[in-house]
Each structure stands twice: as structure tokens, then as C-alpha cells.
Amino acid sequence: MKKGIFITIEGGEGAGKTTILRGIAEWLEAQGWEVVATREPGGIPIAEKIREVILDRRHADMDARTEALLYAAARRQHLVQKVEPALAAGKAVLCDRFVDSSLAYQGYARGLGIGEVWEINRFAMGDLLPDLTLYLDVRPEIGLGRIRSAGGREINRLDLEDLEFHRKVREGYRLLAERHPERIVTIDAEQPPERVLELAIRETASRIKGFHAPASNNILNP
């Protein structure tokens, strides 16, 4: 049975997901939570291998349905081996990307259909959905510009997609946020990183009020 809290961070390329996830993790730990920070695709050896296949620049000819199925396969193994055990143990799981990425990238931007990609992932996930999804909204021109200017990260296959593709990804995310306001919170990620983190922590604090950290130093549940 799920006892912990599951929070996902979503957004297009260069939205700052990794930075915000790290900041939320530090804040949650200060509240007494044991935190598991992870990512998709990846997080465990099998899923990391699948990630390598998906993002390899040499695989530019990958079929869209193959791509969607690979993401779902990596997601399933990640859930079984890492996410679900952590939640059952009462931990806070923070994940850089989850099912909304598949819906926005493959479902909407690739044109496979959000409903069709959702069915693939429902088979992989079962009934598990995040308690909170923070969508970091940034224009693709800005996000991709951040990646180019920052350096230090290898350009992957998705980075090489044209600007129109990334614009469609953003449209897909915005559509999902409109459809699921009870779960997905949109944050303007073009603001300074400190402000984005402040808003992300505020949303996280509001959502965890109904949850209880197992540690005795949890200031939200003394």
C-alpha cells in the first residue's frame, strides 16, 4: 500500500527540472522526509540502458511507436524496482519526468494521440499517478538556448528536433495541465531560478499537508 508521496517535475528541454528537483529534495529533507530522487527514463540499470537507446543521436530513424513503447517499458521497470518500494516505505519520491512526458512528446508532438499513449502507459503503470506534478513552462527558444549556452550536457536525439516539434511539446503539456488542474500545477520557468524554486516549494508544502513524514523532526507534523 502506498504510504509516501509521489511528486513529478515536468517540462520541455532546458526548463530547469533537475535544479528544481534538487531544491525540493533539500527542502523536504529539512521537513523530516526521507527522499528518493530519480529520473525517467532511467533511475535503475535496466531503464538507464533503455534511456541510452532512446536518446542516442544515431537512432534518428526510430519509429514513434517504438519510442513510446520503450519509454513505457523503462517506466514499468523503474516503478517496480524503485518508485513503488520507496512509496510503500513512506518515502517522498521526486521524479524528473513521468507519464506526462510521454503524453506530451509522443502522444501530442509525435501525433500518436494522447489517448493512445495513455493506454500504453496505463498498462505499464497500473493505477499509480503522482500526487503532484509541477510543470515548468518555458518557451522552447529559451529552453534550448539555455542548453546551448550552459554546455556540460551532451546533446541528445530530442535536442536535435526542430523548433516546431518543441513548440508542440509545450502545447501538449499545456493541454494536459488544463485537463488535470487537480494534479498538474504550472509554474513560469522563465523567472529567475530562485523564484521558480520558491513557487515549487510553496506548491509542494501545500500538497504534503495531508501526508505524514516518518521522521520525528517533521515540523509539519510534530
For 128-154, what is each residue's pLDDT tens digit?
Answer: 999 999 999 999 999 999 888 876 567
Assign 218 a pLDDT band (cuts: 50, 70, 90). very low
Count of beta carbons in the 10 Å neighbourhood of residue 111: 10
Helix (H) or strand (E) holding 52: helix 45-55
Domain residue spans of the chain: 5-210
What is the pLDDT, as a whole number, of residue 93? 98
Contact of 67 with 106, CB cutoff 8 Å: yes
Give the burial string for 15-48 (b: 16+ CB within 10 Å, else e).
bbbebbbebbbebbeebbbebbbbbbbbbbebbe
How many whole angstroms separate alpha carbon 118 and alpha carbon 189?
26
pTM summary value: 0.92
If pLDDT is split at 50, 70 and 90, which confidence band does 159 have? confident
The CATH superfamily holding the domain 5-210 is P-loop containing nucleotide triphosphate hydrolases (3.40.50.300)
Return the C-alpha cell found at 202: 510553496
Cell of 101: 512526458
